[in-house]
Amino acid sequence: MAISSSLMVDQAIRQSIEALPRGHWDFANADTKEWTHGYHSYPAMMIPQVARSLITLVQQHRPDTRSLFDPFMGSGTSLVEGLLAGLTTVGSDLNPLSRLMTQAKTTAWDPESLETWVQTLMDYVKDIQIAEADWPHFDNVTFWFKSTVITELTRLKRGIENTVPDGIQPFFWVAFSDTVRWVSNSRNAEFKLYRLDKTRLAQWNPDVFGTFRKVIARNQVGNSRLWEQRPLPAVSLYPYNAMDLSALPDGAFDLMVTSPPYGDSRTTVAYGQFSRLSLQWLNLADAAGGPAPNKLDQAMLGGVASQALQHALASPTLAAALDQIASHDNDRAREVLSFYQDLDVTLQEIARIMRPGGYQCWVVGNRTVKHVQLLTDRIITEMSERYGLIPVVNFTRAIPNKRMPKENSPTNQTGAKVTTMNGEQIFILRKD
Ligand SMILES: C[S@@+](CC[C@H](N)C(=O)[O-])C[C@H]1O[C@@H](n2cnc3c(N)ncnc32)[C@H](O)[C@@H]1O
């Protein structure tokens, strides 16, 4: 596309955004669980309506948009929306649980046959005898689950393995995984793994089969809706580290819609920790040949702190923020730097696989470290310039219902809480 017409499309996108009613991007009362979006909880999920609006906007102005990529697909929100918009969708994530969730959420199974397998499974598990020797053997299994719960989960797992055909199992494993989370001894409202306190643990008597049945029934509703949308475009899911997408060809994608991690897993959202119990029950990490469940967070962006504070990143905004943080705490500054160094490698990779004229839609949270706000939207925009990305538009949306940490204690003073994120930035870049 000629330069002038690309600029005209950019301008048209900006005008369309300006013409939207005030509060359009807040989606305060939107059903964020519609379609298959409610299959499984996950930290910092994107609001489906945000992804949908961004996809619609780009499709409206670039009707030749055919493919969508998300390098940090998480629970697969942008892939589900891409699929519903008729796009060929490709996603990647280091977390094996992310791939399981996204596979289940982007696949439509015949609802009648699904119902048959649910009945078969529930009949079968009634009679399975489980001894302690049959329990899974991962570290701390009895710390995180009561004995009765381990036995019930083992029955369910064996039932799925023995009765449900391989091609349908992902639907059941996702429900199993969500169940694992709800019936464990962890405090379910938290994304990090914290055990229930003694008093609550003593009274904790979760109904494993009942929980599983509820999750399955809820997910069957989502599946039936997706089933009605057939035929669906192709979906491909990969376990790639976003820093190395070398298996994907240059210029392959028309559109990217993504929300990257906010920072390293240790000080922001620990995706690996959130997923650990499910990964252990399902042996997912072993099957994928990736990092062990307890090493996943270290493998993510910023997982290993930089040795020094020198860097060659092309972001004056980041440089200024690092100086400020370093004046309080040099180690914290090195941790922050490592995240952006890794992100920069990712930016180069995803720039390479975008086709010229293609749009990248980013949804990011700007967190605060040591009272210094890290303007990740600006930092990404500045760092992407050297990889041929041109800024198109940038605006803020309020976060009425996104599950993410709103407060933490970055000062490490007991009880001192600082609001880290209460809005997020949406911005669009175009590949030159
Ligand atoms: C904010 S979440 C994405 C949430 C997603 N948009 C959704 O709606 O569920 C960021 C994701 O990035 C993944 N991630 C972190 N570092 C990664 C890396 N180096 N390569 C690939 N994925 C990574 C995490 O596993 C997590 O799933």
Please tell me the predicted confidence (pLDDT) of residue 35.
Answer: 97
262, 359: one domain: yes
Q: Which residues line ligand 1 (CB under 6 A)?
A: 42, 44-46, 72, 74-75, 77, 93-95, 98, 241-243, 259-261, 271, 300-301
Residue type, 23: G
Backbone dihedral angles phi then psi of residue 408, each to the nearest 5 degrees: -150, -175
- Is 243 part of any domain? yes
260 C-alpha to ligand 1 centroid (Å):
6
Please tell me the predicted confidence (pLDDT) of residue 294.
Answer: 86
How many domains is the chain built from? 2
243, 383: one domain: yes
140, 209: one domain: yes
219, 126: one domain: yes
The two three-digit tokens of residue 253, written as one number: 């994608």
Q: What are 17-57's pLDDT values in tens digits? A: 999 999 999 998 899 999 999 999 999 999 999 999 999 99
256, 383: one domain: yes
The two three-digit tokens of residue 368, written as one number: 């605060």
318 C-alpha to ligand 1 centroid (Å):
21
Longest dimension (CA), the chain: 71
57, 186: one domain: no
| pLDDT beneath 50, residues of the chain | 402-403, 405-421
- Is 100 part of any domain? no
- Is 292 part of any domain? no
- Is 418 part of any domain? yes
43, 120: one domain: no
57, 121: one domain: no
Tell me: cis bond preceding 170? Omega within 30 of 0 counts: no
Q: What are 58-109's pLDDT values in tens digits? A: 999 999 999 999 999 999 999 999 999 999 999 999 999 999 999 999 999 9
Q: Which residues contact 128 (CB under 8 A, 6 or more apart)?
A: 155, 158, 159
Instruction: Give me the CATH number covering residue 75.
Output: 3.40.50
194, 241: one domain: no
- Is 278 part of any domain? no
361, 263: one domain: yes
74 C-alpha to ligand 1 centroid (Å):
5
- Is 205 part of any domain? yes
147, 200: one domain: yes
Its domain, for residue 410, covers: 3-87+237-268+298-431
| Angle between helix 376-384 and helix 330-352 axes, rounded to 10 deg | 50
Q: Report whether 285 contacts 296 (CB < 8 A).
A: yes
Backbone dihedral angles phi then psi of residue 189, each to the nearest 5 degrees: -75, -10
- Is 290 part of any domain? no
Domain boundary among 228, 259, 289: 228
376, 411: one domain: yes
- Is 287 part of any domain? no
User: CA quadruple 220, 256, 369, 425: dihedral positive or negative?
Assistant: negative
